[in-house]
C-alpha cells in the first residue's frame, strides 16, 4: 500500500511540473504582465490555484478524515517575513524566474538555471548559518487556536463550492469538443485556468497527506540538516522534486521546446546571484513562492499573504531597475486564458 501511495504521489508531482511548463507559469512573468500589459491574468491563476488547494484539502479532510493528515506549520507575521519575501522577489527578477519558473526553464534545457539552484543552496546555507550565529532572526511558529463561527464556516464553504462548480462549468464549456483527450493533454499551451485546476487538485492531495513538499522547503530542510544538525528531508520529498522536474522535462520534449544550452556566458553569474538572494529570502520568510502559493497561504499561515505581497513588490522593483539599466525585458500578453511572451524593444 505504501508503495502505491508513493507512486501516486510521484505521479501527482509530475502532473504539476507538466502543467507549470505547459502554461509557462512564473511569478516573474505574472509581475511582468502587470508592468507591461496592466493586466493580472497569470497572477489571478495563482490565486485560483490557492482556492483549488483549499477546496481539495477541505473535501478530503471533511469527508475522508485521512489518518496521515498534513502537519500544519504556521509562522507568525513579522517584518522578517516581509523582508524575506522582498529579497526573494528581487532575486527572482535578477534570475529571470521564480522557484517554479526556474524549474520550467531548466526542464527546457537552459542549464544556466543550475547556477540558480547552486545559488539557492548557497543562500540557504549562508542564511541558516547567520541564524545559528543569531545574525539573522529565525522564524517563529504560532498556534492560532482560533475557531470560526458555524455560520461563517457555512457561508465560506458555500461560496467556495459555488465557485468550484462555476469554474468547472466554464472550463468544460470552453473546451474544444473536436479534440480528443490525448490532443487536449498534449496541447502546446494550457489555459491558465486549466493549469490552476491541475496544480490545485494535485497539490491539494499531496499537501493533505504529506504536508509542505515544495522543493524550496525540501532544500531548506536539507541545508538546515547540514548547518544546524536538524532532521533532514525524507527520501519521498526528493523523489517528489525529481518527479516535478521530470514532468517539466516531459512537457518540453512533447511540445518540442527542449533546446539544450551548453554555452557558458558571464551573465550566467546573474543567475547565481539571483539564486543566492532567493535562498536568503527562503530562509527569512520562510519559503519561496512555491511554498507560499501551494502551502502557506492555503494553510492559513499568518505570514504568508503579506510575504507574498512583498515578494511581488520585490519582483516588480527588480524588473523596473533592470529595465532602467538597459537590461532585457519581456511583455506578457494573455488572451483567451493563454499567455504569450514577447520581447520589449530597448529604447535608445
> For position 148, what pLDDT does the model report?
60
Each residue's pLDDT tens digit, 92-145: 999 999 999 999 999 999 999 999 999 999 999 999 999 988 888 888 887 765
Each residue's pLDDT tens digit, 26-63: 999 999 999 988 899 999 999 999 999 999 998 988 87
pLDDT for residue 65 is more than 80: no
pLDDT for residue 348 is more than 50: no
Count: domains in the chain: 1
> For position 152, what pLDDT does the model report?
79
Q: What DSSP string describes 137-177?
A: PPP-B--------HHHHHHHHHHHHHHHHHHHHHHHHTS-T
Give domain status of residue 154, yes or no: no
> For position 26, what pLDDT does the model report?
93
pLDDT for residue 346 is more than 60: no
> For position 67, what pLDDT does the model report?
56
Give domain status of residue 152, yes or no: no
Report the candidate in 82, 74, 77, 98 with the shortest Cα–Cα distance to residue 309.
82
Give domain status of residue 206, yes or no: yes
Give domain status of residue 252, yes or no: yes
Each residue's pLDDT tens digit, 212-224: 999 999 999 999 9
**Using CA atoms, how far apart are residues 126 and 224, in angstroms rounded to an integer?**
10
pLDDT for residue 4 is more than 90: no
**Using CA atoms, how far apart are residues 290 and 271, in angstroms rounded to an integer?**
18
pLDDT for residue 345 is more than 70: no
> For position 145, what pLDDT does the model report?
58
Instruction: Return the sign of the alpha-carbon dihedral for residues 331, 174, 244, 180.
Output: negative
pLDDT range class, residue 347, cuts 50, 70, 90: very low
Query: Which of the pair, 13 or 211, is modelled with greater confidence?
Result: 13
Q: What cell does 220 get?
A: 531548506
Would you say 314 and 90 are in contact if contact means Cβ atoms under 8 Å apart?
Answer: yes
Element (H, E) at 286: none
Give domain status of residue 42, yes or no: yes
**Domain range for 125:** 2-145+159-343
Report the candidate in 194, 266, 230, 250 with the shortest Cα–Cα distance to residue 14.
250
**Using CA atoms, how far apart are residues 55 and 297, in angstroms rounded to an integer?**
13
Each residue's pLDDT tens digit, 166-211: 999 999 998 888 888 888 888 888 999 999 999 999 999 999 999 8
Each residue's pLDDT tens digit, 275-297: 999 999 999 999 999 999 999 99
Q: Which residues of 169-196 are buried (b: 16+ CB within 10 A; e: fewer)?
A: eeeeeeeeeeeeeeeeeeeebbbbbbbb
Give domain status of residue 153, yes or no: no
> For position 284, what pLDDT does the model report?
95
Give domain status of residue 348, yes or no: no
**Using CA atoms, how far apart are residues 8 and 3, in angstroms rounded to an integer?**
9
**Using CA atoms, how far apart are residues 83 and 87, in angstroms rounded to an integer?**
6
Report the pLDDT averaged over residues 245-272.
93
- Which pTM does this prediction carry? 0.93
Amino acid at each position: 500500500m505504501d508503495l502505491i501511495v508513493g507512486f501516486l504521489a510521484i505521479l501527482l508531482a509530475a502532473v504539476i511540473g507538466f502543467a507549470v511548463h505547459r502554461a509557462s507559469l512564473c511569478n516573474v512573468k505574472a509581475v511582468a504582465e502587470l508592468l507591461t500589459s496592466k493586466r493580472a491574468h497569470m497572477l489571478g491563476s495563482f490565486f485560483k490555484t490557492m482556492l483549488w488547494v483549499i477546496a481539495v484539502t477541505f473535501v478530503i479532510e471533511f469527508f475522508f478524515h485521512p489518518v496521515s493528515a498534513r502537519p500544519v506549520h504556521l509562522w507568525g507575521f513579522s517584518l522578517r517575513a516581509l523582508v524575506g519575501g522582498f529579497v526573494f522577489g528581487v532575486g527572482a527578477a535578477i534570475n529571470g524566474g521564480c522557484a517554479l519558473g526556474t524549474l520550467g526553464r531548466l526542464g527546457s534545457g537552459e542549464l544556466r538555471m543550475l547556477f540558480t539552484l547552486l545559488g539557492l543552496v548557497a543562500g540557504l546555507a549562508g542564511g541558516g548559518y547567520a541564524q545559528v550565529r543569531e545574525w539573522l532572526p529565525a522564524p517563529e511558529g504560532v498556534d492560532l487556536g482560533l475557531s470560526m463561527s458555524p455560520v461563517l464556516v457555512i457561508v465560506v464553504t458555500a461560496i467556495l463550492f459555488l465557485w468550484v462548480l462555476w469554474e468547472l462549468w466554464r472550463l468544460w464549456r470552453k473546451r474544444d469538443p473536436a479534440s480528443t483527450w490525448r490532443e487536449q493533454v498534449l496541447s502546446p499551451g494550457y489555459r491558465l485556468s486549466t493549469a490552476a485546476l491541475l496544480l490545485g487538485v494535485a497539490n491539494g492531495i499531496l499537501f493533505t497527506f504529506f504536508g509542505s513538499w515544495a522543493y524550496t522547503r525540501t532544500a531548506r530542510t536539507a541545508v538546515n540538516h547540514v548547518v544546524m544538525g536538524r532532521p533532514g528531508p525524507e527520501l519521498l520529498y526528493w523523489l517528489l522534486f525529481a518527479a516535478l522536474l521530470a514532468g517539466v522535462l516531459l512537457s518540453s520534449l512533447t511540445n518540442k521546446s527542449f533546446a539544450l544550452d551548453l554555452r557558458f556566458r558571464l551573465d550566467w553569474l546573474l543567475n547565481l546571484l539571483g539564486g543566492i538572494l532567493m535562498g536568503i529570502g527562503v530562509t527569512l520568510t520562510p519559503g519561496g513562492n512555491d511554498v507560499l502559493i501551494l502551502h502557506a497561504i492555503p494553510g492559513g499561515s499568518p505570514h504568508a499573504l503579506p510575504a507574498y505581497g512583498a515578494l511581488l513588490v520585490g519582483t516588480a522593483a527588480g524588473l523596473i531597475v533592470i529595465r532602467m539599466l538597459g537590461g532585457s525585458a519581456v511583455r506578457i500578453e494573455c488572451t483567451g486564458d493563454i499567455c504569450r511572451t514577447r520581447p520589449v524593444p530597448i529604447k535608445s
